[in-house]
Amino acid sequence: MTKEFLFLCGRIRALEAKLLTHAQIDRMIGAKSPEEAFRVLTELQYAEIFDEATRPQDFFKIIRRGLTETKEMITSGTENDPAFEFIWKEFDLSNLKRALKLKLLDGATELGAFSESDGFAFLGSLSAEEIENAIFQNETEMLPIEYREALIEAQKVFTESKSFRAIEFILDRAHFDFLKRIAGSHRMPILKELLRLRVDATNLDSAARCVLIWDTTLPAEAVLPHGTIPAELLTSIDSLASLKNAFKAHPFFTRFEELLTKELAPEELLVQLGRQMHNSGIEWLSERESGDIGTFIVPMTYFQKRIRNASRIRFVMAAKFYGIEPEKIYETLKHF
């Protein structure tokens, strides 16, 4: 482990004191104005970004800059350790899918605006130019081999089937094949565990979406490899009851048990299951970073927490500007 990595982990341990707390989110929600809510950000790491010209209306730019700077701190402090592809490539995958949708479904010939309001994520490792070149110019040398092969296959499949879901299945499989390669070559075996958890969560989410939204079963070609839940079980889920039974195979089942007993609309249940799977993954990493002083687990967990906090702050600030009542903010915040 390099001195830089150890220094980064020590720095992050100090910065953890500036993560958003329940008390601070309560103060933001209970604030009488957006200006009052915005002041809470001066108690967090965002304070380093503020200057005399900063206004409450700048909250989105402040959050974005804070996350971008944290990413830069991590990539430089870890010498861009391959383990962090588990974070950055998720955003790249989303951006590639979005660009493909523009090309194949909307008939676009160029990427256009590269912003969150246009459906793009800003925390990936691929630039807007690289995304545009890969999708619209077929210049894919900057992509992992798994992605390159998947893009060729996906566009051929779309020509035949006109199904964008089929494209997403192909790209998801390539994504996790890539992560398996990273996990297999990394010195830390915990990456293999993380891969299995991510695959299981994605497969269950896909199966839940099929049965709850589309009233169908998960196609065999949509089942991702490298997980622990049998494909036969996933493709047999055809009702809410069988979905709940399938969740018993998930390592975090006890964290879902109460949620699965609630009477919720299908769309609401899907959202809450997805959020619980995401949060459980962060908690799982957090449990393994206890006492850790020099591995990728510390910065990875910290960054995931920063993303979750940023999502909460962004929602609360927007809600304050729109004058949404605190009770409604709390109700929606349960999903974050």
Q: What is the pLDDT of residues 31-49, one digit of tens each?
A: 999 999 999 999 998 988 9
The pLDDT of 99-104, averaged and rounded, is: 96
Q: Which of the four pLDDT bands, split at 50, 70 and 90, describes residue 254?
A: confident
CA geometry: angle at 291 spanning 249 and 257, to 5°? 25
Average confidence (pLDDT) over 134-161: 96
Model confidence at 200, in pLDDT bands (50, 70, 90)? very high
94 token code pair: 């989303």
pTM (2 d.p.): 0.91
> Can you list the domains of the chain with their CATH numbers?
1-81+303-336 (1.10.132.50), 83-185 (no CATH), 188-295 (1.20.1690)
Q: Rounded distance, CA 7 to CA 78, Å? A: 10
- pLDDT tens across 217-232, in order? 999 999 999 999 999 9
The pLDDT of 122-149, averaged and rounded, is: 96
Tokens 């999708």, located at residue: 135
The average pLDDT across 237-253 equals 88
Q: Label residue 198 left, alpha or beta by phi (over 0 means left) and psi (-120 to 50 means alpha).
A: alpha
What is the rounded distance in angstroms from the CA atom of residue 266 to the CA atom of residue 212? 5
DSSP H stretches of helix in the chain: 3-15, 22-30, 34-38, 59-77, 85-104, 128-136, 145-161, 164-185, 190-212, 231-235, 240-246, 253-256, 266-289, 297-321, 326-333
Burial class (CB in 10 A: 0-12, 13-18, 19+), 240: middle
The tokens describing 73, both together, are 């701190």
DSSP string computed for 116-169 = GGGT--SSSSS-HHHHHHHHHS---TTS-HHHHHHHHHHHHHHHHH--HHHHHH
Q: Which residues contact 208 (CB under 8 A, 6 or more apart)?
A: 237, 243, 269, 270, 273
Helices 326-333 and 22-30 cross at an angle (nearest 10°) of 140
pLDDT at 291 over 80: no
247 pLDDT tier (thresholds 50, 70, 90): confident
| Direct distance between the N- and C-terminal alpha carbons of the chain, in angstroms, rounded to an integer | 34
Q: Are 163 and 222 in contact (CB under 8 A)?
A: no
27 has pLDDT over 90: yes
DSSP label at residue 219 = P
Mean pLDDT, rounded, of the chain: 92
Confidence of residue 294 (pLDDT cuts 50, 70, 90): low
Query: Residue 2 pLDDT > 90, yes or no?
Result: no
Sign of CA dihedral 68, 70, 71, 77: positive
Region 153-179 average pLDDT: 95
Cα 128 from chain centroid? 19
Residue 175 burial class via C-beta count within 10 angstroms: exposed 0-12, middle 13-18, buried 19 and up: buried
Q: What value does the mean pLDDT take over residues 324-336?
A: 89
Say how many C-beta atoms besides its own lie within 10 A of residue 33's C-beta.
Answer: 12
pLDDT exceeds cutoff 90 at 158: yes
- Residue 52 dihedral angles phi and psi, to the nearest 5°: -65, -25
| pLDDT over 90 (residue 284) | no
